[in-house]
Structures are given as C-alpha cells and as structure tokens.
C-alpha cells in the first residue's frame, strides 16, 4: 500500500514554459515542412497554375503566417500540451455534468491508426464501407435498448447540436400537422443551457420552470406553464443538482395532455445505464452525449457526438442519411421521407466517435454498463458524505435525499465565514494538480457553486485524494484566505486579474488584433 490518500497532498507544480505566442516565433526564411511540387511533366503542360486565376482573385501578399522550423513548432505545441490538464493526467472529478471518464486507449489507437477508419471517405460506395456502417447500425441497436426509444441518428456533432436536432424535429412534427400555433417550449432552470438556447434558436419562446425547495419544479408549476401553445418540453433528469425528479412521468403526461412532445436531455445519463430509461418515463425524443456517457474523449471541446433518439412515430423527421440494414447489407438512405429535417451536420457525423463508443459498449456488455451506473452513483454518494464533513461546504436542496451521478455543492457558508469564494478555490485547486471544477451553468442559483462528478473511472482512493485537497483548501480559506485568493501559485501561469473581457479596447481574440490595439494604445 502506498501513501494514505485521505491525507495526501501532492507537491505538484505544473509545467510553466513561459512560451511565446506562435506569431512571435517568426524567423524569416525558416520552413516547418516542404510540400510536394507538381512533376515536371505537369508543369510543362499547364504552366504555373496560377495564371488562370483572374488577377483580382489572386493573392498578392502571402499570408503573414510565421516562419518556424519543424522542431520548434513541435516543441511549442508539446509545451502547450504539458500546460493542459487533461483527464489522462489528473483526477478529473472536477468537471461535473461532463462525465470525465477514462477513454480507453485501445479505442483511440484503433480509431486513429487503422486506415479502415482514418482513411475512409464518407462518400465511398456503400459496398466499401460496410464495416463502419455495421458499427453505426449496431451502436444504434445498443442505444435503442439502453433508452427504449426506436431510432437513432449520430449525425449531430455535439450534445447541444443534438438537442437542437431534437428541437428541429419537434418543429417539423408540428409543422407537418399544420399546427403553427405552438410557439413555446418549456425547460427547467437546472436543465442544461442548451435545452433553453436550442429551442430559442429554432424559433421558440422559452419558458423556464424554477426549482422549489426540493430542488426541482413543482408539478403545479408545470401544469400552469403548459397550454395549446406548448410545442415541447426539454428537460434534464437528474438535473444538475444530481437530484432525480421523481415526478418526471407526471411532467411528461401533462405535456402530452396538451399535445406537446417531450425531449429528454440525457447528458446526465451515466448513473442510469441499465437502471431507468427514456421510454418508461414516456419521452418521445432523447439525446446522449457520446463523449460523456460513452467514453469518446472530450478533445478540448470536440469533436463530439450528440446521439439523438426518437420513438417510431417521429423517425421520419430524423436527419438524413439513415443507416439501414436488410439482413445482409448496410445501406445509406439519403432520401428518407419529405418530413425529414434534412441535415444538421455534413456527412455521417463524427464516425470515429461512433466506433469508439461501439468498442466501449462491446467491452462492457449489459452487466458492465450497469456496473458503470452503479459505481458512478456509489462514488457520488460516497463523495457527498465525505465532502459534507468539510468545513464550509453546503449541500443545497433536499439534503436527506440520495443523489445520482453528480452534486452541485455550495461554498456559500465558507464564503460568508472567510470571504473566499468558489472562483478563488477553483483557482487554488489547480495548485494541487487537479483540474478546475465546473462551478455551475449560469445563472448561479446555488450560491458559490461547484459541481463534481466522480464517475465510475475513479477509485475510492482517487475520491479520497480529491476530498483531501478540498479539505486542505477549506482549511487555508479559514486560516490564510489571501493564499487562496491570490492563487494559483503552482500553475502554468499566475492569476489573471480581469478574466472577463468585455471592453472593446481590451478585446483581442487574435494576435493581429492584439498588435493593432497595442499600437493604437501606444500612439494615443
């Protein structure tokens, strides 16, 4: 046995390379890579190639990209990677609602190194992509069983795009019935922001139900919100508090009672695999974040997949193409039915992610998936108990109730006691080699929030170590608040005094914009 993880505080310091911005690394004349030239025979036949371009459409000045030798480019990005704290290198319980689970290396290696995945073109003849179409079809069968819904599409390139796809299908459903009076969707405050924003993008007014003392809205609030104008409800359950709304079926029934559709945001599904499904709760549509629940890596925010599922009645609205199987051959149906919403993303979506998720389910099977759910919920409740003993931590809402896979905690008491807030602690946590936690989606209903999700990938020891860090920071806050407020100290960089950049003169999202604004500042 190694060190006691309940008291372990690592003597950590992140790589701090003090690396230049790449545009500062320009050495005129250096080359990073040489590119193939057209053969002499080609040059002889067609000339320089550019003379056919009309004068006003030719590039006159080469782009002002930096000139850098290859080793330096590689070193630069290697250094930046060392200044990034991925799940591979830390106990990433921090990013609650994101399900930062282990992405098995075998999946990564096959998906990136096998030319049967990396070098296939989505428009190849169907007969030459039977392998990947098999993977699509099989993974669809898995998700049908996991959710109970009838058809899936893996075209959406992320969770929010998945929810937007569902909002689009809700819109298409009512339109195909000539029902144009429905212009509202309903969500809850602890459902994800995309449940509100994608409905708005699709053209709907958004009604947001607020939680009562239990942490989720009362059924009466739902009854009061629905009407013949309600097109659909978009709801997360368990919500971001980690509390499962036990009246979810009633919410769904109330919505159905006025002719609305019900879309289940299953970004928080990790604790539910094999336990409870969208179907039994009555949902018409759902989506899973394949990069959360099904182990596809998060990749600095994508590529990702929002897998969308629907009941049979809605399958004609799904994006195209759809993968079909006649018992012998897989085909891509590009025609579908006229009610299809068309497309939300090009080609077949992020196919490599479907392969990874397929591999993950194949390695776990039904028992393994259930073990995922059980251990994620067990881990969470274990962590909840441990953290409830840390001074300054408050468990908001229904303290007596069991949570599923995550909890939105509050440093409200600690903040009142010490003046140290969740943002301060969030910077300090990086000093112990732990990724910044996810405070909360906005607005912050829970004061000084932090949201943790110790999914099945983390051992009991990992959880103990994580709690030890928070216990230590709590102690620091009570004894030496300045230490926490001035953090980070062992990170790649020091504290940014004004991290919210809203003033036009401070806005520089590219190097050239920065250089111009500096010049303007210096001259005037």
Partner 1 sequence: MSQRRIVYPYIPNSVPEIKAQMLKEVGARDIMDLYAEIPDELILKRRMDLPEPILDEYSLKRHLEEILDRNRNCDDHLNFLGAGCAQHHVPAVCDEISSRGEFVTAYVGEPYADHGKWQALFEYASLMGELLDMDVLSCPLYDGPSAAATSLRMASRTTGRNEVLVPGSASPDLMAVVRNYLGGIGEPQVSIRTIDFDPGSGLLDLDQLRSAISSNTAAVLIENPGYLGNIETRAEEIGEIARNAGAEFVVYTDPISLGVLAPPVHYGGTFACGDFQPLGMHIQCGGGQGGFIATHDDMRYVAEFKDLMFGITETVKEGEWGFGEVLFDRTSYGSREQGKEYTGTTTGLWAITAGVYLALMGPKGMEEIGRTILQKSQYAARQIGGIPGVRVASETPFFKEFVVNFDGTGKSVGEINAALLDRKIFGGKDISGEFPQLGQSALYCVTERITQDDIHTLVQALGECCS
Check if the beta carbon of residue 390 is closer than 8 Å to that of residue 470. yes
Residue closer to partner 1 by CB (options 187, 416) is 187
Name the minimum Å distance from CB 415 to partner 1: 19
Beta pairing class for 261-265 and 285-289: parallel
Check if the beta carbon of residue 424 is closer than 8 Å to that of residue 70. no
Residue closer to partner 1 by CB (options 22, 417) is 22
End-to-end CA distance of the chain: 64
Helix (H) or strand (E) holding 286, with range, is: strand 285-289
Separation CA 251–CA 245 (nearest Å): 10
Q: Phi/psi class of residue 448: alpha, beta or left (left: φ > 0; alpha: ψ in -120 to 50)? A: left
Name the minimum Å distance from CB 313 to partner 1: 20
Beta pairing class for 205-209 and 184-188: parallel
Name the minimum Å distance from CB 414 to partner 1: 19
Name the minimum Å distance from CB 339 to partner 1: 12
Q: Is 204 helix (H, G, I), strand (E, B) or coil?
A: coil
Residue closer to partner 1 by CB (options 109, 416) is 109
Q: What is the dihedral of CA 57, 61, 66, 70, to 10 degrees?
A: 70
Name the minimum Å distance from CB 212 to partner 1: 15
Q: DSSP E strands: which ranges in 349-482?
A: 394-395, 407-410, 449-452
- Partnered with residue 289 across adjacent β-strands are 306
Residue closer to partner 1 by CB (options 74, 480) is 74
Separation CA 454–CA 470 (nearest Å): 14
Check if the beta carbon of residue 298 is closer than 8 Å to that of residue 98. yes
Rg (CA), the chain: 26
C-beta atoms surrounding 96 within 10 Å: 27
Q: Is the peptide bond before 68 cis (omega within 30 degrees of 0)?
A: no
Name the minimum Å distance from CB 479 to partner 1: 22
Name the minimum Å distance from CB 478 to partner 1: 23
Separation CA 103–CA 107 (nearest Å): 8
CA angle 192, 193, 199 (to 5 degrees): 110
Longest CA–CA span in the chain (Å) reads 81
> Which candidate, 141, 162, 156, places its Cα nearest to that of 286?
162
Residue closer to partner 1 by CB (options 417, 483) is 483
Name the minimum Å distance from CB 287 to partner 1: 11
Token pair, residue 377, equals 């919920």
Name the minimum Å distance from CB 79 to partner 1: 7
Residue closer to partner 1 by CB (options 259, 417) is 259
How many Cα atoms within 13 Å fall on the side-chain side of residue 298?
16
């Amino acid at each position: 046995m190694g060190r006691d993880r309940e008291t372990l505080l690592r003597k950590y310091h992140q790589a701090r390379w003090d690396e230049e911005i790449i545009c500062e690394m320009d050495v005129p004349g250096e080359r990073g890579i040489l590119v193939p030239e057209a053969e002499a025979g080609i040059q002889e036949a067609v000339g320089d190639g550019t003379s056919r371009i009309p004068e006003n459409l030719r590039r006159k000045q080469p782009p002002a990209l930096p000139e850098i030798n290859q080793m330096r480019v590689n070193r630069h990005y290697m250094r930046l990677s060392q200044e990034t704290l991925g799940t591979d290198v830390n106990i990433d319980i921090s990013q609650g609602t994101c399900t930062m689970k282990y992405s098995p290396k075998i999946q990564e290696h096959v998906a990136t190194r096998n030319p049967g995945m990396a070098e296939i073109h989505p428009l190849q003849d169907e007969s030459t992509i039977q392998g990947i179409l098999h993977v699509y079809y099989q993974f669809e069968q898995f998700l049908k069983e996991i959710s109970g819904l009838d058809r899936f599409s893996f075209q959406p390139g992320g969770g929010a795009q998945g929810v937007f796809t569902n909002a689009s299908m809700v819109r298409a459903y009512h339109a195909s019935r000539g029902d144009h009076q429905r212009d509202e969707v309903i969500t809850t405050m602890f459902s994800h922001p995309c449940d509100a924003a994608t409905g708005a993008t699709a053209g709907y007014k958004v009604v947001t139900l607020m939680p009562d003392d239990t942490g989720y809205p009362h059924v009466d609030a739902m009854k009061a919100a629905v009407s013949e104008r309600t097109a659909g409800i978009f709801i997360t359950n368990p919500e971001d508090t980690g509390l499962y709304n036990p009246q979810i079926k009633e919410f769904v029934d109330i919505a159905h009672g006025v002719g609305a559709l019900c879309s289940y945001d299953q970004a928080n599904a990790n604790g539910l695999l094999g336990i409870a499904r969208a179907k039994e709760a009555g949902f018409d549509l759902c989506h899973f974040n394949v990069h959360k629940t099904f182990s596809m890596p998060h990749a600095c925010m994508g590529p990702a997949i929002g897998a969308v599922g629907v009941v049979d009645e809605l399958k004609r609205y799904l994006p195209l193409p759809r993968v079909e199987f006649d018992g012998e051959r897989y085909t891509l149906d590009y025609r579908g039915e006229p009610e299809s919403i068309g497309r939300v993303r090009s080609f077949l979506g992020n196919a490599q992610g479907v392969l990874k998720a397929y591999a993950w389910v194949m390695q776990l099977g039904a028992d393994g998936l259930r073990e995922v759910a059980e251990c994620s919920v067990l881990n969470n409740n274990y962590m909840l108990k441990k953290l409830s003993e840390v001074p300054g931590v408050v468990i908001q809402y229904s303290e007596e109730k069991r949570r599923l896979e995550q909890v939105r905690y509050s440093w409200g008491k600690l903040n009142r006691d010490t003046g140290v807030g969740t943002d301060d602690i969030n910077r300090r946590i990086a000093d112990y080699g732990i990724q910044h936690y996810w405070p909360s989606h906005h607005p912050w209903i829970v004061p000084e929030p932090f949201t943790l999700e110790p999914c099945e990938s983390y051992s009991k020891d990992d959880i103990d170590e994580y709690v030890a860090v928070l216990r230590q920071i709590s102690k620091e806050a009570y004894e030496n608040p300045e230490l926490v407020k001035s953090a980070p100290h062992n990170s790649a960089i020091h504290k940014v005094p004004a991290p919210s950049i809203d003033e036009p003169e401070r806005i520089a999202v590219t190097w050239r914009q920065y250089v111009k604004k500096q010049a303007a500042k210096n001259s005037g």
